[in-house]
Chains A and B, each alone.
Chain A
Amino acid sequence: MFRLQGSKVLAVDMTGDAVKAKNGSMVAYDGQMTFKKLSGGGEGIRGMVTRRLTGEQMTVMEVTGQGTCWFADRASEINLVRLQGETLYVESSNLLATESGLRTGTSFTGLRGATQGNGLFTTTVEGHGQAAIMSDGPAVVLRVSPQYPLTVDPGAYIAHQGAVRQSFQSGVTFRTFLGEGGGEAFQIRFEGDGLVYVQPSERNTIAGDV
């Protein structure tokens, strides 16, 4: 059971079940806990191989026990996401913890990933349960519907869920190369039906330099 203690600490009440969490993110626990590193990031040999190939390696540990375990990472804000069979796409660096009912995998993002400075692959979380994702500053959840597509700065994007198509937009023109770019050269456009999580901060991307 995931709950937030303040906005920066995740408390997980456990009764013998297991959660997956970012390596080293435990700050305290009571009761009995064991911490085990998952080799290559879980999901068997195939997952390990794809992770190695894609560079989408998150070092994950499995926490099992009885009691309460608290997680936090560099004072990042934490957002709880409940999944009911759908898929959450999130950058591995923004994923703090997932409940045992969720599977994690890797998916290809194409050019978008490159502009985000996060590589060409992203992490997927699927199944039933809660996930805790991190953001630099409090995140907002924006709804995408067929009537209202959404365009997001790649550096401020942290995650999305639902039946959403994403495409990559570039505003690069010859003016950009003359040094007259607006500073918003790349965007991600979301269309369909779903939710997009956006943080009030822009991580460094190649788009920021254009």
Chain B
Amino acid sequence: MAFREINSKMVEATVVPGQRLFSQRGAMLAYRGEVSFTPNMQGGQGGVMSMIGRRLANEDTPLMSVEGSGTVLFGHGGHHVHLIRLTGDTLYVEADRLLAFEGTLQQGTMFLGSQGGVMGMVRGQVSGQGLFTTTLKGHGAVAVMAHGGVFEIPITPQRPVHVDPQAYVAHQGDVRNKLSTALGWRDMVGRGSGEAFQLELSGHGVVFVQASEEKL
């Protein structure tokens, strides 16, 4: 694994020749050795087509590629950092929560409306996260950011998990997600419990939740 947790808000990455890392631009705190940082105009991998895809999808958080040999410290905005390891499965995460990830991972964008139909689209609006999300697939590690610590809840077919859209960070695995509502007439007259919308995740995987309802 290329990443090592230094404390709850910093990770250290080991860079070796021939292996690339991507990180959010400006997230480098310090480095040792011969390391170069190049702004990545395409905002990640996959060539021009995927760049256009990301632009359209508004998932084009500026990234830089990190190459060379040495170690680099990453952290950003005092946010908590959480490491997620992928072994062939897919991670779904908002681009602005990505701190850094290994170049061995395949980056893509996914249209949320394709899962859960209309509610999938509403989901993006409600959670303020837009209609698209970034996917990372393959073998490697990802560092994501959150407000407050992150905890993991396993998802099994018998036990679907419901998450507050504002506290949702990312999920991984073979998981279906849809927006569920608990809207009743009470909510309409402004007397709701404040838990009107939830993301329902079902299938096999893990969901990452932050200890806060604040956006980054």
Residues of A bordering B, CB below 8 Å = 5-9, 23-31, 33-37, 39, 59, 61, 67, 70, 72-75
If the complex has contacts A6-B149, A8-B149, A72-B212, are A28 and B193 also in contact, measured as CB distance less than 8 A? no
For the complex, give the distance between the alpha carbons of A148 and B148 in Å. Answer: 36
Of B18-26, B103-111, B121-129, B153-161, the segment with at least 4 beta carbons within 8 Å of chain A is B153-161
Chain A hits for B89, CB < 8 A = none
Q: Which residues does chain A contribute within 8 Å of B214, judged by CB atoms?
A: 74-75
Binds A, one of B36-44, B48-56, B130-138, B162-170: B162-170
Contact of A75 among B148, B151, B182, B195 (CB under 8 A): B148
With a CB–CB cut-off of 8 A, which chain A residues contact B195?
24, 26, 35, 61
How far is it, in angstroms, between the C-alpha of A39 and the C-alpha of B148 when the chains are bound? 30
- Let me know if B46 is at the binding interface, CB within 8 A: no
Judging by beta carbons under 8 Å apart, are A28 and B213 in contact? Answer: no
- Give the contacts of B27-45 with A (CB-CB under 8 A): none
User: Total A-B residue pairs with C-beta atoms closer than 8 Å?
Assistant: 89
- Chain B residues within an 8 Å CB radius of A24: 193-195, 213
Instruction: Identify which of A27, A29, A37, A59 contacts B211 (C-beta below 8 A).
Output: A27
- A8 and B211 within 8 A (CB): yes
Q: Are A72 and B211 in contact (CB under 8 A)?
A: yes
Complex Cα gap A72–B211 (Å): 5
Instruction: Using CB atoms, name the residue of chain B closest to A36.
Output: B193
Q: Which residues of A contact B163 (CB under 8 A)?
A: 27-28
**Given that A6-B151, A8-B148, A8-B149 are known contacts, is A28 also in contact with B209, CB under 8 Å in the complex?**
yes
Check A9/B149 contact, CB under 8 A, given A37-B193, A73-B212. yes
Query: Which 8 A-B pairs rank lowest in CB-CB distance, beginning with the nearest?
Result: A75-B148, A24-B194, A8-B211, A27-B167, A61-B193, A35-B193, A72-B211, A75-B212
Question: Interface residue tally of chain B, by bracket?
Answer: 20 to 34
With a CB–CB cut-off of 8 A, which chain B residues contact A27? 163-164, 167, 209-213
Binding site for A on B (CB under 8 A): 147-149, 151, 153, 159-164, 167, 182, 186, 191-195, 198, 207, 209-214
User: Nearest chain A CB to B190's CB is how many angstroms away?
Assistant: 10
Minimum Cβ distance to chain A for residue B59 (Å): 24
Cα–Cα distance between A7 and B214 once the two chains are bound (Å): 17
Q: Which of B163, B193, B212 has the most CB of A within 10 A?
A: B193
Can you list 18 A-B pairs, Cβ within 8 angstroms, ordered by A?
Answer: A8-B211, A9-B209, A24-B193, A27-B164, A27-B211, A28-B161, A28-B163, A28-B167, A28-B209, A30-B160, A33-B162, A35-B194, A35-B195, A36-B193, A37-B191, A72-B213, A74-B147, A75-B211
User: CB distance A23 to B151 under 8 Å?
Assistant: no
Structural contact, B193 and A29, CB atoms closer than 8 A: no
- In angstroms, Cα B186 to Cα A24, docked, is 15
A88 to chain B, nearest CB (A): 23
Q: Is the CB of A59 within 8 A of B159?
A: no
- With A6-B211, A8-B148, A73-B213 known to touch, is A28 a contact of B162 (CB < 8 Å)? yes
Bound Cα distance A29, B155 (Å) = 11
Shortest C-beta distance, A36 to chain B (Å), equals: 6
Q: Which residue of A lies closest to B195 (CB)?
A: A35
| Shortest Cβ distance from A61 into B: residue | B193
- Which residues of chain A are near B192, meaning CB under 8 Å? 37
Question: Closest CB-CB distance, A139 to chain B, in whole Å?
Answer: 16
Name which residue of chain B comes closest to A60, CB basis: B193
A175 to B95 CA separation, bound complex (whole angstroms): 55
**A24–chain B nearest beta-carbon distance, Å:** 3
Chain A residues near B167: list those with CB within 8 A: 27-28, 72
